[in-house]
Amino acid sequence: MEKTVEKTLVIQRYNPEHDQTPSQQSYQVPFDNSTSVLDALLYIQQSLDPSLAFRWSCRMAICGSCSVMVNGIPKLGCKTFLREYSGDLLLEPLAHFATEKDLVSDMTLFLQHLQAVKPYLIRQEQSAATTPASKPQPHKQTPKQLAKYRKFSSCINCGLCYAACPQFGLNPEFLGPAALTLAQRYNLDSRDQGKAERMPQLNGKNGVWGCTFVGFCSDVCPKHLDPAAAVNQGKVASATDFVIGLFKP
Amino acid sequence: MSEQHPPRRPYHTPLTGSWWLKHRYYRLYMLREATVLPLLFFCGCLIAGFYSLQQGETSWLNWLSFMAQPWVMALNALTLAASLFHAKTFFELFPRVMPLLPAPLMIAGQWLATLAVATLLLLLLGGLL
Ligand code: FES
């Protein structure tokens, strides 16, 4: 299709080398039905302004690196289309994160929070190395057991939920939707035995109880994971953990 | 040969006190949380009612006439509306936290239970039972 219609993209610019505060810059971008926000950014970078910085990789909503704010709402650039907007588009870096340059956010905090909940299978049993005679066995799982955590397992770490979460905005130490969802995902996995190691993080003041169920995180999640539900299921787990703790010597 | 990179200088956008005015979603959330305010007033009324009941007839009658004032009725009507709104949001969130049955079923069940309890209370307090 021929691209004749143009749209105005207003982009927040910030260059750490010489800017004290961010400013805005407008670009005219030709578009058709299939032009995504990421396509538009690539067009600007290639044809209008090579200095524009933004992240991207897969272009198919899998890598989670193209997250930006479009008109104030956290979006994946590659999954958002110019045709969806009647007026101009305002593009800003993810809210609640520091801006490295232009649309590139500093995701360090996010990655630290993900790590904090030990998002991997933890087994308590002896490792195969100590019992050389026995080969490591595969861990079987029934479809029913899989169904328990499956919907929480498709996170692409895009960080949109953190940009939607005012609690994370107010307290950057709050572990946040994705990390708490990931904790829940592993706690619900029948092969995992690490729940006891994760609960202190979840029970802590920056854990599940920091969430007030604003619910916007679930709305913006490009994979429809419902992180708000996962975090609040974590509250049930945390409360259960507390009650059980009362009866333990 | 290593190129000299300028030091990083990430920009922190400050979060202002009016953050919740920015989105319809946040405003709705704040509205949900604010439903507690009229509820506080109603609780005050209720406690005063119990207290005046214990104090004797005059004080009880005084309380009744206080409750019948238009502005008190209006505030309590607001409390009812606010509580129903809060109930609606709560009933919709609950099946997501405890997915025991299909969500529409759980939502309908909660409304039915509310209706049953309200009817029972009305009958009991209205002296019809
Ligand atoms: S480019 Fe990979 S998710 Fe958008």
Instruction: Look at residue A56 in the predicted model and tell me its pLDDT.
Output: 98
Domains and CATH numbers, chain B: 22-128 (1.20.1300.10)
User: CA triplet B75, B80, B86: central angle to 5 degrees?
Assistant: 120
Instruction: Look at residue B108 in the predicted model and tell me its pLDDT.
Output: 96
Chain A residues 103-132 within an 8 A CB cutoff of chain B: 106
Task: Tell me which of B16 and A21 has the higher pLDDT.
Answer: A21
Residue of B nearest to A98 (CA): B12
Instruction: Look at residue B16 in the predicted model and tell me its pLDDT.
Output: 87
Average pLDDT over residues B10-34: 91
Instruction: Look at residue A134 in the predicted model and tell me its pLDDT.
Output: 67
Instruction: Look at residue A135 in the predicted model and tell me its pLDDT.
Output: 73
Q: Label residue B14 by pLDDT band (50, 70, 90).
A: confident
Beta-carbon separation of A232 and B9 below 8 A: no
Alpha carbon distance A235, A215 (integer Å): 15
Instruction: Look at residue A158 in the predicted model and tell me its pLDDT.
Output: 97
Residue of A nearest to B25 (CA): A216
Task: Tell me if A41 CB under 6 Å of ligand 1.
Answer: no
> Does A206 contact chain B (CB < 8 Å)?
no
Beta-carbon separation of B15 and A170 below 8 A: yes
- Rounded to two decimals, the pTM is 0.88
- Amino acid at site A201: Q
Render each residue's pLDDT in chain A as its tens digit; 249 residues: 555 689 999 999 999 999 999 999 999 999 999 999 999 999 999 999 999 999 999 999 999 999 999 999 999 999 999 999 999 999 999 999 999 999 999 999 999 999 999 999 998 875 545 555 667 778 899 999 999 999 899 999 999 999 999 999 999 999 999 999 999 999 999 999 999 999 999 998 899 999 999 999 999 999 999 999 999 999 998 998 888 888 877
C-alpha of residue B53 to centroid of ligand 1, in Å: 66
State the CB neighbour count (10 A cutoff) for residue A43.
17
Residue of B nearest to A21 (CA): B11
Tens of pLDDT, residue by residue over B116-126, are 999 999 999 88
Size of interface A-B (CB pairs under 8 A): 63
Alpha carbon distance B8, A109 (integer Å): 16
Using the atom order of ligand 1, give the atom closest to the CA of residue A56.
1
| Residue A147: partners with Cβ closer than 8 Å, 6 or more residues away | none
Mean pLDDT score of chain B, rounded to an integer?
A: 91
Residue of A nearest to B29 (CA): A214
Q: Which residue, among B96, B100, B106, would best test binding to A if mutated, counting the most A CBs under 10 Å from its CB?
A: B96
To the nearest whole percent, how much of chain B has pLDDT over 70? 96
Instruction: Look at residue A166 in the predicted model and tell me its pLDDT.
Output: 95
Report which of A110, A94, A223, A93 is spatially closest to residue A176, judged by C-alpha positions.
A110
Pocket probe for ligand 1: among A45, A55, A68, A76, the residue whose CB has the most ligand atoms within 8 Å is: A76
The helix/strand/coil state of A52 is: coil
Domains and CATH numbers, chain A: 5-105 (3.10.20.30), 108-127+137-247 (1.10.1060.10)
Chain A residues within 8 A of B27 when measuring between CB atoms: none
> Does A21 contact chain B (CB < 8 Å)?
yes
Tens of pLDDT, residue by residue over B29-69, are 999 999 999 999 999 999 999 999 999 999 999 999 999 99
Chain A residues within 8 A of B91 when measuring between CB atoms: none
CA distance B31 to chain A (A): 11
Q: Which residue has the tokens 């032009």?
A: A35
Taken as a whole, chain A contains a residue count of 249
Beta-carbon separation of B25 and A21 below 8 A: no
Beta-carbon separation of A96 and B93 below 8 A: no
Phi–psi pair at A87, nearest 5 degrees: -105, -150
> Does B20 contact chain A (CB < 8 Å)?
yes
HSE-CB at A223 with a 13 A cutoff on CA atoms is 21
